[in-house]
């Protein structure tokens, strides 16, 4: 179920991104809604890809919380950067050495997930990685695939 939901979210977000980009080619100019759609759809696509990578038969397990945090963090960061007034200049001050809009993107969108996701993956490593039984099943499937490939070739060789 989690894979189907992630694939649907990925498809819809990519479709939304495509529509937003295509709207830039309108003769009347880019509509005001376009960057807002991208600000939400890109994080949804990123988290959907992460969910597909982490999905197991029982779902994503304890990674739900870090994934939700990353999605919310990215959406809030992109939307906050878009919501800042366009007149931000040198007089507006700096935040950790950067103008506020750049600081939100660099520190909030770029760096904060780097601190959260590795810790989350490390804490869930034992439950989210392949077990010995899973590895054996993959080996058997690979062997069966190799044998089938040899049998399917015209001269009986791979």
Distance of CA 86 to the CA centre of its chain: 28
Reading the block at residue 113, the tokens are: 């997930």
> If pLDDT is split at 50, 70 and 90, which confidence band does 12 have?
very high
Give the model confidence (pLDDT) of 99-134 as tens digits.
778 888 888 888 888 888 888 877 777 666 667 777
Reading the block at residue 27, the tokens are: 């003769």
Q: Which residues contact 19 (CB under 8 A, 6 or more apart)?
A: 37
Distance of CA 114 to the CA centre of its chain: 13
Residue 84 phi, psi (nearest 5): -65, 145
Residue 93 phi, psi (nearest 5): 90, 170
Give the model confidence (pLDDT) of 55-87 as tens digits.
776 777 777 888 889 999 999 999 998 988 777
Parse the chain into domains and list their residue ranges.
2-123, 130-158
């Amino acid at each position: 179920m989690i894979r189907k939901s992630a694939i649907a979210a990925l498809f819809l977000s990519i479709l939304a991104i495509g529509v937003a980009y295509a709207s830039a080619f309108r003769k009347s100019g880019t509509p005001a809604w376009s960057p807002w759609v991208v600000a939400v759809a890109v994080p949804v696509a990123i988290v959907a890809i992460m969910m597909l990578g982490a999905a197991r038969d029982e779902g994503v397990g304890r990674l739900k919380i870090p994934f939700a945090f990353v999605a919310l963090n990215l959406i809030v960061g992109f939307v906050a950067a878009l919501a800042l007034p366009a007149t931000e200049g040198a007089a507006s001050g700096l935040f950790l050495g950067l103008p506020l809009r750049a600081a939100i993107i660099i520190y909030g969108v770029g760096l904060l997930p780097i601190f959260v996701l590795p810790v989350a993956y490390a804490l869930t490593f034992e439950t989210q990685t392949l077990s010995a039984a899973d590895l054996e099943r993959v080996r058997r499937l690979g062997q069966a695939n190799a044998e089938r490939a040899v049998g399917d070739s015209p001269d009986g060789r791979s």
